[in-house]
């Protein structure tokens, strides 16, 4: 380990052993088939080891992310390490309960039987991560994969290469090496991997690559979660506390240098609100980063020059109200607010994914809702208003992955809220129990009663069919298959009466 500017830096091996996708997947499948991942003890041990990996390597993780795009350690600890630690803890706390077969309520027709839902491990799953939160986006889904009793191949993004390398070097020292593997590579290697048969693919990345992954998975009929991106709208009206709103929006936009899938992408508000927003933004940016933002240690950089040039093109001909400063050498773009933006402007055509915030003028919530509904369904939406009526207008009048009212981003930290997109922003969700449920198959099991009474109660379904039997079974199917509640007392008594009549009928027939 070498030292640079007082920080310990992980060594980066430029040449890796070539990894054979077919070989890796088939060996991992053999391991899964031994059943080793199924027990509670194994899963809990791996989760505890994952926790140990994070605790023992948090400094190295922060160093790697600093090297990747100068991510401030505060952001690494809070938004990468701690959220995952919290999630591991929550999973360990509930794992036994989640693993237990569920006992759904049953209808009277099954009153003598046992009805269960088993959470079956899926097998060998693939987790493909994006570069912008390279720890959170790989280890987050991994928690669900381990909890679900699966083997997992983790493919971090090659773009955040220091962090990918750290995962490759260190994770096998903590997790079972035969069941959990880190696979490094870019497009060709990921394509190789996607040509293999997995039991589940969990992908985080752009909608463009999401389509490629979905097609590849379809070839093997492999189910997928696609955690994608898009443009997340933010609405502010005059009833909001504009200073607080501006502070929360700027934080959500500028954390990770705007390279966050749920960052507020653009603002919709009227001219009066816009003026106040710009006024507060000028003051708040100084509070956040001091007089010279370039010198602030709390503001990250753009991940690479290709990304930097795409972003600088977006502001080239725009009307800049704040910021607009760029430096290609440092991959620096200052927090930039654009005004008088038109829907057809370049900046409104694709997800921005950088520290640029366009403001579009709208006059009322209805106009904002119409604007949002004319575009792809976003991953997140932010509504800043104190009017419940307006909040409801957005909640009931738009479709998106998730909503945070009067704040940005922090809905992701609520472990029991499913996180995922809809339409172009993705499919499936995770976090908390949703992660566990994502990585298991809900297997239905019916244990039928075989007692004399149990068999007698089934007489009506066996040939020879008779009118009486048909009436009885049709009544049972129409009325007694629904879950029992107190209002079902009458059908229950009728059901018992039905059984009694059936028994009597066969008893009498038998005696003759
Ligand atoms: P990306 O789609 O370019 O890459 C994601 C992963 O796919 C990487 O591991 C990469 O190696 C792999 N990949 C890239 N091209 C591929 C190809 N042609 N074939 C097979 N694999 C390929 O995304 P990114 O640049 O890493 O991340 C940014 C995007 O991810 C943004 O759109 C952002 O909104 C989205 N994102 C979504 C979430 C979420 O939770 N919904 C989180 C973070 C980022």
Label the pairing between strands 402-405 and 232-236.
unpaired
Between 478 and 251, residue with greater pLDDT: 251
Q: Is the pLDDT of residue 2 over 80?
A: no
Mean pLDDT across the chain = 93
Rounded (5°) CA angle 88-92-98: 115
Give residue 498's pLDDT band: very low, low, confident or very high (50, 70, 90): confident
Ligand 1 geometric centre to CA of 210 (Å): 7
Ligand 1 geometric centre to CA of 128 (Å): 8
Which ligand 1 atom sits closest to the C-alpha of 157? 9
Burial of 17 (C-beta count, 10 Å sphere; 0-12/13-18/19+): exposed
- Segment 406-434 mean pLDDT: 97
Between 281 and 5, residue with greater pLDDT: 281
Domain assignment present for 48: yes
Ligand 1 geometric centre to CA of 87 (Å): 23
Give residue 28's pLDDT band: very low, low, confident or very high (50, 70, 90): very high
Domain assignment present for 101: no
For 62-113, write each residue's pLDDT tens digit: 999 999 999 999 999 999 999 999 999 999 999 999 999 999 999 888 999 9
Q: Is the pLDDT of residue 507 over 80?
A: no
The catalytic position among 179, 257, 261, 269 is: 261
Q: Is the Cβ atom of 227 under 6 angstroms away from ligand 1?
A: yes
Q: Is the pLDDT of residue 1 over 60?
A: no
Ligand 1 geometric centre to CA of 399 (Å): 23
pTM of the entire predicted model: 0.92
For 189-229, write each residue's pLDDT tens digit: 999 999 999 999 999 999 999 999 999 999 999 999 999 99
Q: Is the Cβ atom of 420 under 6 angstroms away from ligand 1?
A: no
Nearest C-alpha to atom 4 of ligand 1 is from which residue?
A: 205
Q: Give, as one character, the DSSP assignment of residue 490.
A: H
Q: Is the pLDDT of residue 12 over 60?
A: no
Give residue 19's pLDDT band: very low, low, confident or very high (50, 70, 90): low
Give the tokens for residue 19.
């990894």
| pLDDT value for 3 | 31
| pLDDT value for 10 | 40
Give residue 484's pLDDT band: very low, low, confident or very high (50, 70, 90): confident
Domain assignment present for 108: no
Domain count, the chain: 2
Q: Are residues 363 and 387 in the same domain?
A: yes
- Segment 480-500 mean pLDDT: 77
17-23: long-range contacts (C-beta < 8 A, 24 or more apart)? 19/183, 19/184, 19/185, 19/189, 21/183, 21/189, 21/192, 21/193, 21/195, 21/196, 22/192, 22/196
Q: Are residues 258 and 219 in the same domain?
A: no
**Domain boundary at 442, 477, 497, which?**
442
How far is 101 from 113, CA to CA, in rounded Å? 15
Q: Is the pLDDT of residue 488 over 70?
A: no
Q: Are residues 388 and 364 in the same domain?
A: yes
Domain assignment present for 145: yes
Q: Is the Cβ atom of 157 under 6 angstroms away from ligand 1?
A: yes
Q: Are residues 438 and 354 in the same domain?
A: no
Can you say how many angstroms the Cα of residue 46 is from the centroid of all Cα atoms in its chain?
Answer: 21
For 436-457, write each residue's pLDDT tens digit: 999 999 999 999 999 999 999 8
Q: Is the Cβ atom of 351 under 6 angstroms away from ligand 1?
A: yes
Domain assignment present for 221: yes
Q: Are residues 189 and 75 in the same domain?
A: yes
How far is 149 from 35, CA to CA, in rounded Å? 9
Domain assignment present for 405: yes
Which ligand 1 atom sits closest to the C-alpha of 155? 9
- Segment 459-488 mean pLDDT: 86
How far is 274 from 268, CA to CA, in rounded Å? 9
Start-to-end CA span in the chain (Å): 93
Cβ proximity of 274 and 319 under 8 Å: no
Q: Are residues 357 and 324 in the same domain?
A: yes
Q: Is the Cβ atom of 195 under 6 angstroms away from ligand 1?
A: no
> What is the CATH classification number for the domain harbouring 366?
3.40.309.10
**Domain boundary at 360, 383, 418, which?**
418
* 134, 360, 407, 419, 465 from 339: Cα distances, Å: 32, 7, 22, 31, 77
For 318-329, write each residue's pLDDT tens digit: 999 999 999 999
Stretch among 2-11, 304-313, 470-479 having the lowest mean pLDDT: 2-11
Q: Are residues 167 and 268 in the same domain?
A: no
Q: Is the Cβ atom of 237 under 6 angstroms away from ligand 1?
A: no
Residue 304 structural domain: 232-418
How far is 232 from 382, CA to CA, in rounded Å? 8
For 350-367, write each residue's pLDDT tens digit: 999 999 999 999 999 999
Looking up tokens 């007392």 gives 489
The catalytic position among 31, 58, 227, 415 is: 227
Cβ proximity of 349 and 248 under 8 Å: no
- Segment 479-499 mean pLDDT: 77
| pLDDT value for 510 | 60
Domain assignment present for 480: no
Q: Are residues 408 and 438 in the same domain?
A: no
Contacts of 45 (CB under 8 A, 6+ apart): none
Q: Are residues 211 and 301 in the same domain?
A: no
The secondary structure element, H or E, covering residue 314 is helix 305-315
| pLDDT value for 504 | 81
User: Is 227 known to be catalytic?
Assistant: yes
Q: In what order do the strands lie in the sheet with 426-427?
A: 180-182, 151-155, 124-128, 200-204, 224-227, 426-427
Cβ proximity of 315 and 356 under 8 Å: yes
- Segment 247-260 mean pLDDT: 98
Q: Are residues 176 and 296 in the same domain?
A: no
How far is 408 from 250, CA to CA, in rounded Å? 9
How far is 305 from 327, CA to CA, in rounded Å? 10
How far is 415 from 79, CA to CA, in rounded Å? 14
How far is 45 from 36, CA to CA, in rounded Å? 12
Q: Are residues 214 and 277 in the same domain?
A: no
Q: Is the pLDDT of residue 8 over 50?
A: no
Domain assignment present for 296: yes
Q: Is the Cβ atom of 191 under 6 angstroms away from ligand 1?
A: yes
- Segment 472-483 mean pLDDT: 88
User: Is 100 known to be catalytic?
Assistant: no
> What is the CATH classification number for the domain harbouring 174?
3.40.605.10
Contacts of 191 (CB under 8 A, 6+ apart): 216
- Segment 260-279 mean pLDDT: 98
Between 233 and 1, residue with greater pLDDT: 233
Q: Are residues 73 and 157 in the same domain?
A: yes
């Amino acid at each position: 380990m070498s030292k640079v500017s007082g920080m310990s830096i992980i060594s980066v091996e430029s040449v890796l052993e070539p990894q054979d996708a077919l070989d890796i997947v088939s060996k991992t499948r053999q391991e899964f088939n031994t059943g080793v991942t199924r027990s509670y003890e194994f899963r809990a041990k791996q989760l505890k080891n994952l926790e140990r990996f994070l605790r023992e390597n948090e400094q190295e993780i922060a160093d790697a992310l600093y090297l990747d795009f100068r991510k401030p350690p505060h952001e690494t600890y809070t938004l990468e390490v701690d959220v995952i630690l919290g999630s591991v803890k929550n999973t360990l706390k509930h794992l036994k309960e989640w693993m237990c077969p569920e006992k759904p309520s049953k209808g009277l027709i099954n009153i003598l039987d046992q009805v269960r839902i088993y959470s079956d491990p899926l097998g060998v799953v693939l987790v493909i991560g994006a570069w912008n939160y390279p720890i959170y986006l790989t280890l987050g889904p991994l928690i669900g994969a381990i909890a679900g009793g699966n083997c997992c191949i983790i493919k971090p993004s090659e773009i955040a290469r220091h962090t990918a390398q750290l995962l490759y070097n260190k994770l096998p020292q903590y997790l079972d090496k035969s069941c959990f593997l880190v696979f490094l590579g870019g497009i060709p290697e990921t394509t190789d991997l996607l040509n293999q048969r997995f039991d589940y693919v969990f992908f985080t990345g752009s909608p463009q690559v999401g389509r490629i992954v979905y097609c590849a998975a379809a070839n093997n009929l492999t189910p997928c979660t696609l955690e994608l991106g898009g443009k997340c709208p933010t609405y502010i009206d005059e009833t909001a506390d504009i200073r607080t709103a501006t502070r929360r929006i700027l934080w959500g936009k500028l954390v990770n240098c705007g390279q966050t899938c749920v960052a507020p992408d653009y603002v919709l508000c009227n001219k009066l609100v816009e003026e106040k927003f710009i006024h507060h933004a000028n003051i708040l940016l100084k509070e956040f980063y001091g007089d010279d933002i370039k010198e602030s240690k709390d503001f990250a950089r753009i991940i690479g020059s290709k990304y930097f040039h795409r972003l600088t093109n977006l502001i080239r001909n725009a009307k800049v109200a704040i910021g607009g400063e760029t430096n290609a050498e440092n991959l620096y773009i200052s927090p930039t607010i654009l005004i008088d933006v038109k829907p057809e402007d370049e900046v409104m055509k694709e997800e921005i994914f950088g520290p640029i915030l366009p403001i579009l003028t709208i006059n009322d919530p209805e106009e904002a809702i119409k604007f949002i509904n004319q575009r792809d369904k976003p991953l997140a939406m932010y509504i800043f208003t104190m009017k419940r009526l307006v909040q409801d207008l957005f909640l009931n009048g738009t479709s998106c992955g998730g909503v945070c009212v009067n704040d940005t981003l922090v809905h992701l930290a609520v472990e029991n809220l499913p996180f995922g997109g809809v339409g172009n922003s993705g499919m499936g969700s995770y976090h908390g129990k949703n992660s566990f449920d994502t990585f298991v198959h809900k297997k239905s099991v019916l244990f039928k009663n075989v007692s004399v009474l149990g068999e007698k109660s089934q007489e009506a379904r066996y040939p020879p069919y008779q009118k009486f039997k048909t009436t009885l079974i049709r009544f049972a199917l129409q009325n007694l298959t629904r879950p029992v509640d107190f209002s079902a007392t009458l059908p229950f008594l009728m059901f018992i009466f039905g059984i009694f009549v059936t028994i009597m009928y066969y008893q009498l027939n038998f005696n003759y």
